[in-house]
């Protein structure tokens, strides 16, 4: 049996966490604002938006794995 393959951990700990959060927090705020805006038109629109976002996250993680 071949040796167990271990992941490359050269990028851990991530050195640019501050920049990551500076870019991530406004993106999440924008997504939440769009969700709330769509909620004003209809509950179903916001749920469809949320489901598209969650599907995108799932398939992106699947491609990365």
pLDDT in tens, the chain (65 residues): 566 777 776 766 677 888 888 999 999 999 999 999 999 999 999 999 999 999 999 998 877 66
Which residue's structure tokens are 């938006």?
Answer: 49
For 26-48, b where at least 16 C-beta lie within 10 A, e where not — what string? eeeeeeeeeeeebeeeeeeebee
What does the pLDDT read at residue 4? 79
Please enumerate, as own/partner, the contacts of 31-38 that have beta carbons within 8 Å and a separation of 24 or more.
none
Instruction: Identify the CA nearest to 49 among candidates 61, 32, 62.
Output: 32
| Residue-range domain boundaries for the chain | 17-64
């Amino acid at each position: 049996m071949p040796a167990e393959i271990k992941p490359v951990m050269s990028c851990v700990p991530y050195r640019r966490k501050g920049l990551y959060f500076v870019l991530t927090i406004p993106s999440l705020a924008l997504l939440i604002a769009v969700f709330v805006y769509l909620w004003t038109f209809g509950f179903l629109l916001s749920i469809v938006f949320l489901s598209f976002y969650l599907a995108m996250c799932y398939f992106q993680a699947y491609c990365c794995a």
